[in-house]
Amino acid sequence: MKFPRLVIGSIVALALIVVFGVLRSGFLGHRGEENKFSPEAITALEAPDSFYLYSLNPVPVAFKSQPSNSASGSTNEIQKTEMFHGFEILGRAEIVDTNERKELVEVLKKGVAEGKKWEPLACFDPRHGIRAVKGGTKVDLVICFVCLTIMEVINTDRWFRVSHKPNKRFNEALKRANLPLASE
């Protein structure tokens, strides 16, 4: 049975429209939200009870090759790795200096304000993270300055854009805290 060219052309056109729509919506389900922090995140970030800065390995553990168990029957190294939303923690430091916390939050808020209109993600290779706790609310930010995207996690996750400008300041804070930096 032969399909008329018109039917085949219509199917191809429809497939292209669907693919384009998926890509414009934010690549594989990562949709763009309003490009700003949620009110809960702002409250926790601006006056936290605790504030942690993370250095992350941008390669998700799911994509790393898993070492085989040794003859002694030891457990897998990956199973022992401390994680932050699917990414290996290279280091973590509590930022207790109020001025440093404020500076990190302000540079990040400015970066979000400068973030471009949502476009499809080319990657999500976060090298930085923040955990701010205020009362019973825990706010986690997973930050990729490569694709310029932040994942905000409170009860669910939200995705929005950030400029590259805060990257330098975040790396300086990691170095000051003697935390390792992921390779670029």
Residue 70 has pLDDT above 50, yes or no: no
Task: State residue 46's pLDDT score.
Answer: 96
Q: For all residues of the chain together, what is the average pLDDT?
A: 80
In this predicted model, what pLDDT tens digit does every residue of 165-177 receive, in sequence order?
999 999 999 999 9
Task: State residue 115's pLDDT score.
Answer: 87
Rounded Cα–Cα distance for residues 170 and 154 (Å): 21
Looking only at the bridges linking them, the beta strands covering 149-153 and 157-161 are: antiparallel
Longest dimension (CA), the chain: 74
pLDDT above 70 covers a percentage of the chain that reads 69
Task: State residue 92's pLDDT score.
Answer: 97
Strand partners of residue 159: 151
- Backbone φ and ψ of 53, nearest 5°: -110, 135
Q: Name 73's Cβ contacts closer than 8 Å, sequence gap at least 6.
A: none
Q: Give the model's confidence band at 19: pLDDT under 50 very low, under 70 low, under 90 confident, else very high.
A: very low
Q: How many CB atoms lie within 10 A of CB 3?
A: 10
pTM of the model: 0.74
Q: Give the model's confidence band at 1: pLDDT under 50 very low, under 70 low, under 90 confident, else very high.
A: low
Question: What architecture (CATH level 2) is domain 33-176?
Answer: 2-Layer Sandwich (3.30)
| Residue-range domain boundaries for the chain | 1-31, 33-176
CA separation, residue 43 to residues 39, 134, 135, 136, 139 (Å):
6, 7, 10, 12, 10
In this predicted model, what pLDDT tens digit does every residue of 96-119 receive, in sequence order?
999 999 999 999 999 999 987 666
In this predicted model, what pLDDT tens digit does every residue of 36-62 receive, in sequence order?
899 999 999 999 999 999 999 998 776
Task: State residue 117's pLDDT score.
Answer: 67
Task: State residue 64's pLDDT score.
Answer: 56
17, 105 in Cβ contact below 8 A?
no
Residue 83 has pLDDT above 80, yes or no: yes
